[in-house]
């Protein structure tokens, strides 16, 4: 491949290497001349300063031990940069998506110190002693694991007018009910997994045909190293479900928002794009070098946007059935373009 830059894609398991290479080869811009390879974290030898990778060749797939790639695109689900041994031999300016499994409390704290704080629901670390007071004040709150995804182990707590507390998971019908004089803290102690949780003020979300929806903005760096929104989509939950991870439909936000919100929808779309790019810039500075993330919003009944989630490893498979995305291939192409951009920068 001559002097073409070798781009490494780090994945969790050896069995993932061929599949991810086939996917990204399909969208790799030919004019960049990139040589793609894939490897797992344990394939790195710090002592020998080598990496054992899977490479595509004219004669099929070949496993080979080579010097570290010019740039690494991290697709491994990791909580800290310490989990990536390559930092010891490559430094931090040629590996992007340094952290992909975001800590919700850290993300919330960073954004709370930024100009985007007004778009965040009030958030605190969960302490059972604080629960009754916040529930009494807010009437609706969510408990979310500090490390969690796809709405797993998220609890929705709603205090009714008769002081009963409904505790729900995924859908509105309560899984547990705390009657008057029952202690919700004791109930939760018996059902919460042994994880750290954040406690977040619940927002009364706007609905479509009695169904909750959220808006997901996929933000990626381009070949110039600048953040751009690649896709804006709406996920419509099943009726009575507040968890939009299991959705009945996904739609292009450019079509969806103006349709349900009229002219205000067009303004909202541009506002949300701006916020998403701003959020990406904040976390890029605070978490380490990033190349992509997704920001999830809901709209309250007054069309005010609220950030409810930021994902460090965006789930791209949700877009496969999404119609009317112009140049859908850019979802996979952008990380490779950004990798090329990094390969052309001189190390400092």
pTM listed for this prediction? 0.94
What is the share, in percent, of the chain residues with pLDDT greater than 70? 97
Q: Does residue 92 contact residue 289 with C-beta atoms inside 8 Å? A: yes
pLDDT at 113: 97
Q: Does residue 3 contact residue 66 with C-beta atoms inside 8 Å? A: no
277-294 pLDDT, tens per residue? 999 999 999 999 999 999
pLDDT at 242: 95
Question: What CATH architecture applies to the domain 104-120+205-314?
Answer: 2-Layer Sandwich (3.30)
Q: Average pLDDT of 92-118?
A: 96
Q: Provide the residue ranges of all domains of the chain, joining segments of one domain with +.
A: 6-99, 104-120+205-314, 123-201
**Which strands form 155-159's sheet, in the order they lie side by side?**
123-125, 197-201, 140-145, 155-159, 165-168, 176-178
CB-CB neighbours of 176 under 10 Å: 17
Report the C-alpha gap between 138 and 158 in whole angstroms: 9
Is residue 185 over pLDDT 60?
yes
What is the share, in percent, of the chain residues with pLDDT greater than 90? 78
Report the C-alpha gap between 235 and 216 in whole angstroms: 8
Alpha helices, H only, 17-69: 17-27
4-17 pLDDT, tens per residue? 899 999 999 999 99
pLDDT at 2: 44
Is residue 118 over pLDDT 90?
yes
191-240 pLDDT, tens per residue? 777 789 999 999 999 999 999 999 999 999 999 999 999 999 999 999 99
CATH number of 6-99: 3.40.50.20
């Amino acid at each position: 491949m001559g002097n073409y830059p070798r781009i490494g894609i780090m994945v969790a398991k050896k069995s993932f290497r061929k599949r991810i290479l086939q996917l990204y080869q399909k969208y790799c811009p030919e004019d960049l001349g990139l040589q793609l390879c894939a490897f797992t974290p344990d394939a790195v030898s710090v002592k020998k300063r080598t990496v054992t990778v899977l490479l595509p060749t004219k004669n099929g797939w070949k496993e080979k031990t080579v010097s570290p790639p010019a740039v690494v695109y991290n697709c491994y689900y990791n909580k800290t940069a310490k989990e990536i041994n390559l930092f010891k031999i490559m430094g931090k300016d040629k590996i992007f998506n340094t952290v992909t499994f975001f800590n919700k409390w850290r993300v919330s704290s960073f954004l709370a110190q930024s100009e985007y704080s007004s778009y965040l629901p009030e958030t605190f670390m969960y302490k059972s002693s604080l629960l009754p007071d916040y529930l009494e004040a807010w009437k609706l709150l969510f408990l979310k694991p500090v490390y969690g995804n796809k709405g797993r182990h998220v609890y929705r707590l709603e205090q009714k007018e008769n002081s009963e507390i409904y505790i729900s998971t995924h859908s509105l019908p309560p899984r547990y009910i705390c009657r008057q004089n029952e202690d919700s803290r004791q109930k939760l102690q018996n059902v919460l997994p042994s994880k750290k949780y954040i406690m977040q003020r619940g927002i009364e979300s706007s609905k479509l045909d009695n169904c909750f929806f959220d808006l997901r903005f996929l933000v990626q760096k381009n070949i110039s190293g600048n953040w751009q929104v690649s896709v804006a989509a709406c996920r419509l939950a099943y009726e009575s479900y507040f968890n939009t991870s299991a959705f009945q439909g996904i739609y292009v936000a450019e079509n969806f928002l103006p349709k349900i919100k009229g002219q205000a929808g067009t303004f909202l779309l541009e506002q949300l794009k701006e916020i998403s790019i701003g959020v990406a810039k904040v976390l890029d500075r605070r978490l380490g070098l990033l190349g992509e993330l997704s920001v999830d919003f809901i709209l309250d009944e007054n069309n005010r946007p609220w950030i409810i989630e930021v994902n460090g490893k965006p789930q791209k498979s949700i877009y496969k059935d999404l119609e009317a995305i112009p140049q859908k291939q850019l979802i996979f192409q952008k990380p490779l373009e950004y990798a090329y951009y990094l390969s052309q920068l001189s190390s400092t």
